[in-house]
Structure 1
């Protein structure tokens, strides 16, 4: 299981300082995951990365179970096509468990039906790969502001 938490060297937080925005990236392609993590970190976000939908579910179980020892997420970015559990299946499970965190999906193979399913399940957006990084950053900003 790959689970990494990345954050920039931030100054210590006080009660007056808002908590840093935490984003989980679920992507099975190592190069794409590294690009997403690097882009988001440079934009000032705290990033947790996992390799697939199963690890995404495991992370959320750790976050919610046993007294919730992990800080809550502000956004999840997930690939649609991953081994084991797809991003759509993971999103469906999240919603069934009452997790309301915004979700952005990414796919190189999304057709109109996939876009419709993503909307039906409550994804904020489904971005087509290769994703323009400026479009991604704008989508992230919009998702975490609501």
Structure 2
């Protein structure tokens, strides 16, 4: 069985400073963090993983900003869920209106954070999201 801690976290955030801050905090917790600067880049990488990558190279948790160039975090989440990929997904957004939260929850987001948020809260949610043993889809668009 795959060890659940430290976790393998995929982080998509187009703001370099925010991405660095979040990645640093998660790495301090011992997690492996793979960074992406767009939802499109994240989705493309997940697609390559679905074509033969080992279980150890798959993410335990995905953290993604919503508004990014190309694919939004909600686009990525919807695409993953459409093909059965069930990795816990944490959405962050600077535009956290009720409709965005509702769409994220309906699509299966584990959590939604409105910016600015407490990084320690995100760290806790990532750890909790990575604990359950959920089914991970075998393909990505």
TM-score class, shorter: 0.7 to 0.9
Deviation at 1:74, TM superposition (A): 0.2
Partner of 1:41: 27
Partner of 1:21: 7
Distance, in Å, in 2 between the alignment partners of 1:83 and 1:116 is 22
TM-score normalised to structure 1 length: 0.84
- Report 1:88-99 matches (<5 A): 88-99=74-85
After the TM superposition, which parts of structure 1 deviate over 6 Å for at least 4 consecutive aligned residues? none
Partner of 2:129: 143
Distance, in Å, in 2 between the alignment partners of 1:25 and 1:126 is 14
Distance, in Å, in 2 between the alignment partners of 1:36 and 1:72 is 19
Deviation at 1:138, TM superposition (A): 1.2
Deviation at 1:120, TM superposition (A): 0.1
Distance, in Å, in 2 between the alignment partners of 1:78 and 1:51 is 10
Deviations 1:18-53 (A, max 9, x none): 364100000000000000100000011000000111
Equivalenced residues, count: 130
| Higher RCO structure (Cα 8 Å, ≥6 apart) | 2
Deviation at 1:61, TM superposition (A): 0.8
Distance, in Å, in 1 between the alignment partners of 2:3 and 2:67 is 34
Q: Secondary structure at the match of 1:85?
A: coil
Distance, in Å, in 2 between the alignment partners of 1:18 and 1:100 is 18
Partner of 2:62: 76
TM-score normalised to structure 2 length: 0.87
Partner of 1:4: none
RMSD of Structure 2 on Structure 1 (CA): 1.6
Verify: 1:101 aligned to 2:62, yes or no. Answer: no
